Amino acid sequence: MANCLTLKKSNCKNCYKCIRHCPVKAIRFSGNQAHIIGNECILCGHCFVVCPQNAKEIVDGTEKARVLLQSGSPVVVSLAPSFIANYEGVGIESMRRALKQLGFADVEETAIGATIVKTEYERMLREEERDIIITSCCHSVNLLIQKYFPSSLQYLADVMSPMQAHCTDIKKRMPGVKTVFIGPCVAKKDEAEYYEGIVDAVLTFEELTNWLKAENIALEQEKDETKESRARFFPTTGGVLKTMAKDIPGYTYVALDGVENCIAALKDIESGKIHKCFIEMSACVGSCIGGPVMEKYHSTSPIKDYITIADYAGERDFEVEQPAAEYLKKNFTAIEHKLAQPSEIEIMSVLRQMGKFKPADELNCGSCGYNSCREKAIAIIQGKAESSMCLPFLKDKAESFSDAIVNNTPNGLLVLNENLEVQQINKAARKIMNIRNSSDVLGEPVIRILDPTVFVQVKNSGRNVINQRTYLAEYKKYVEQTVVYASDSRILIGIMRDITDEEADREKKARINKQTVEVADTVVEKQMRIVQEIASLLGETAAETKIALTKLKESIGDE
C-alpha cells in the first residue's frame, strides 16, 4: 500500500482521537506518538479529518503533476463529479479554463467513467448469475474487504473504478497522454500507485486549490448544464443506483455509506443472511461529497451539497463508447495483515496490568479508542497500544498516589473552594480538629470548624500566609499554619502542622528557666547577706583587737 498518509510527530499530543475514530483501529501508539499501520489502514481518511493538531498529512501530489506537465506529453485531468460541491457555482467549463492555465491539455469529468462502470454493472446483473454484487468504486471499501473480509471478495465486483475506467478511456482515445485524477479522496492516491499505468498522478481538491492560489488563478462562477450527465450523481449516497435501471427481477438494491455500516453488512454477508442483493458501498458518510479532504477544508453541508449535485446532474447518460467487459476487469486479492491472536492467559495478564482484576473493572469506556478493555489488551500484546492509554486506570492510579500522600502526611491538609466550603480534609487535619469522618464536614462552610479570617485575607489579597503560628482555642491546639490560594484551580489550600507538643515543651523550658533564675537570685541574695554579715563581724573583731592592743601598748609604756 502506498504511503499516502504521514504523521507530523511533533504535533501528536496523545489525545487518542484518531484511534477512537479509526473504524479498523489501524493506528499504533509508541513512544508517545501515533503511527499509521500501513498494511491495516483502509485509507478512509478519518484520522486526517478528526486530528485536532493537524498531525496527519496527506502526501502532496502537486510536484508529481508538475513533473508530468514538464515531460512534454499532454496531460489530461479526470475531475471527480464532487467538484461542483467543493467549488460551488463553478462548472466544468470554468474548471477547464483554470486548469488549462496551469498547463493541462484538457479536463474531463470522471462521471464519464462512472457511466461506463454503471453500464458494466447492469450487464453483470443481466448476464451473469451472481448472488451478491458489491460495487468496487470506493477503494477504501475494496481495501476493507481485501484486508478484513476476504471471504466476501467473491462478491466484490471485478470492475475498474470510475477513475480507472475514465483514465483508460482517455488514453485509448488520446494515445500518448498522461492522466491526473483530482478529487476529495485519499485512497485514490493508493489506487493509482498500486494499479500502475492507468492514472499517472492524483491530486486532492485542497492541493488543486493551493496550486491555483500560488499561480493567482481565480475560478469563475459559471454553472453550465449538460442533459447527458446523469452519472454526476455518483458522488452521493445511492448515486450509483440513481443512474441504474434496477430492473432485474428478484434483486434488492441497497446503498450504504460509512465504514461502520459497510462492516455490519459484510458481517451479515459472511453469516449467510444476505442473498440476491446489489449493494452500493461508500466508506464516507454521504459518499464522496463527504470525502476526507472536502470534510476538512470545505464547509460540509450534506443536504446543501446533495442538492448542488442533483441540480448539476443531467437526465440522461453521457454518450460513451462502452468497452468490452474484459477491458474493465480488475482483480482483487486478499491482503494478509492479521497478527497472531494472543491466548486468554496473556490477555488476562495485561488486563491485570491495567488494573482490571474482575469484569466490573472493565468499563469499556472507549476513551483509549478501543471498543472494549479486552480489545485494548490484545492491541497491547500485538504492540499497537500502551497500558498508559487507559485513562480510568491512570486516573485511579493518580488518585491512589495522591490519596496515599495526602492521607499519610503528618501535616493537616484542608482544601476549600472559593465559597470557603470544605472540599477535602485529610486524616491529620481531622485529628487536629477532633473530626471523626470527612463526610461530617465535606461541602460545609469552613466557619463550622475554623475561624475563616486567614482564608478570606489570602483570597482577597492574593498574598499567601507561610508558617504562621496560631492557637486554635476551640481545640486547644497550637499549629503552624500555611494558607495558599491556587487561582488557576480556584481553591484555597490550608496546611497545618500541629506544634502543640512543641509549644508545651517550650513553655516547660521557659518555666524551668524562670525557676532557675529565681533560685539563682535567691542564692545570690543569701550569699550577699552572708558576706555582709561576715564583713560586719570581721569589722567588730578588728576594732576590738585594735582596742586591746592599744591598751596593751599603753600598759607596757607605763612600766
Task: Show the cell assigned to 516.
Answer: 532557675
Q: What distances in angstroms separate CA 304 from CA 111, 257, 286, 509, one per listed residue? A: 20, 18, 12, 88
For every residue of 30-47, DSSP letters joined together read: ETTEEEE-TTT-----HH
pLDDT band at 446 (very low <50, low <70, confident <90, very high): very high
> Using one digit for the tens of pLDDT, what is the confidence trace for 223-255?
777 888 899 999 999 999 999 999 899 999 999
More confident of the two residues 512 and 183: 183
Domain boundaries, the chain: 1-59, 60-328, 339-389, 409-498, 506-535
Q: How many CB atoms lie within 10 A of CB 82?
A: 31
- Residues written for the chain: 559
Q: Are the C-beta atoms of residues 434 and 428 closer than 8 Å to each other?
A: no
**Strand 491-498 and strand 412-417: pairing?**
antiparallel
Residue 388 has pLDDT above 80, yes or no: no
Q: What is the pLDDT of residue 340?
A: 75
Rg (CA), the chain: 44
Q: What percent of the chain has pLDDT over 90?
A: 58
Crossing angle of helices 62-69/205-214, nearest 10°?
Answer: 60
Q: What is the pLDDT of residue 99?
A: 97
More confident of the two residues 13 and 117: 117
More confident of the two residues 543 and 144: 144
Residue 130 has pLDDT above 90, yes or no: yes
More confident of the two residues 360 and 443: 443
Q: How far is 203 from 184, CA to CA, in rounded Å? A: 8
Q: How far is 114 from 314, CA to CA, in rounded Å? A: 14
Query: How far from each other are the two terminal CA atoms of the chain, in whole angstroms?
Result: 153
Residue 199 has pLDDT above 90, yes or no: yes
pLDDT band at 546 (very low <50, low <70, confident <90, very high): low
Greatest mean pLDDT range, 248-252, 391-395, 503-507: 248-252
Q: What distances in angstroms separate CA 521 from CA 10, 518, 527, 533, one per listed residue? A: 79, 5, 10, 18
Task: Show the cell assigned to 87.
Answer: 467549488
Residue 295 has pLDDT above 60, yes or no: no
DSSP state, 472?
E
Across 510-519, average pLDDT? 78
Q: How far is 510 from 515, CA to CA, in rounded Å? A: 9
Q: What is the pLDDT of residue 378?
A: 84
Residue 325 has pLDDT above 50, yes or no: yes
**Strand 422-425 and strand 201-204: pairing?**
unpaired
| Mean pLDDT value across the chain | 87
Q: How far is 383 from 346, CA to CA, in rounded Å? A: 13
Across 167-182, average pLDDT? 97
CATH class of 409-498: alpha beta
Task: Show the cell assigned to 526.
Answer: 543569701
Q: Worst-scoring range by mean pLDDT, 171-185, 190-204, 386-400?
A: 386-400
**DSSP reduced 3-state for 158:** coil
Whole-prediction pTM: 0.72
Task: Show the cell assigned to 434.
Answer: 477532633
Residue 1 has pLDDT above 60, yes or no: no
More confident of the two residues 292 and 235: 235
Residue 299 has pLDDT above 60, yes or no: no
Residue at 80: amino acid letter: A
Q: What is the pLDDT of residue 296?
A: 43
164, containing H or E segment: helix 162-173
Q: What is the pLDDT of residue 360?
A: 76
pLDDT band at 50 (very low <50, low <70, confident <90, very high): confident
Across 89-95, average pLDDT? 93
Q: How would you class 239 by CB atoms within 10 Å of its CB: exposed for 0-12, middle for 13-18, buried for 19 or more?
A: buried
Please choose, from the candidates 212, 216, 238, 227, the residue with its C-alpha nearest in 3D space to the C-alpha of residue 83.
212
Q: Worst-scoring range by mean pLDDT, 171-185, 467-481, 518-532?
A: 518-532
Q: How far is 322 from 334, CA to CA, in rounded Å? A: 29
Q: How many CB atoms lie within 10 A of CB 265?
A: 21
Q: Are the C-beta atoms of residues 64 and 81 closer than 8 Å to each other?
A: no
More confident of the two residues 209 and 33: 209
Q: Are the C-beta atoms of residues 298 and 205 closer than 8 Å to each other?
A: yes
Across 432-442, average pLDDT? 91
> Using one digit for the tens of pLDDT, what is the confidence trace for 340-369?
778 888 888 888 887 788 887 777 777 777
Residue 297 has pLDDT above 60, yes or no: no
Task: Show the cell assigned to 46.
Answer: 478519518
For every residue of 337-393, DSSP letters joined together read: -PPPPPPHHHHHHHHHHTT--SGGG-----TTSSSSHHHHHHHHHTTS--GGG-HHH
Q: How far is 451 from 431, CA to CA, in rounded Å? A: 17
7, containing H or E segment: strand 5-7
Q: How many CB atoms lie within 10 A of CB 198?
A: 20
Q: How many CB atoms lie within 10 A of CB 92?
A: 22
Q: Worst-scoring range by mean pLDDT, 412-421, 435-444, 513-522?
A: 513-522
Residue 403 has pLDDT above 80, yes or no: no
Task: Show the cell assigned to 262.
Answer: 459497510
Residue 43 has pLDDT above 50, yes or no: yes
Q: How far is 172 from 320, CA to CA, in rounded Å? A: 12
Q: State CA 427 to chain mean position distance.
A: 37
Q: Are the C-beta atoms of residues 488 and 461 closer than 8 Å to each other?
A: no
DSSP state, 437?
-
CATH architecture of 1-59: 2-Layer Sandwich (3.30)
Q: Worst-scoring range by mean pLDDT, 173-177, 191-195, 279-283, 531-535?
A: 531-535
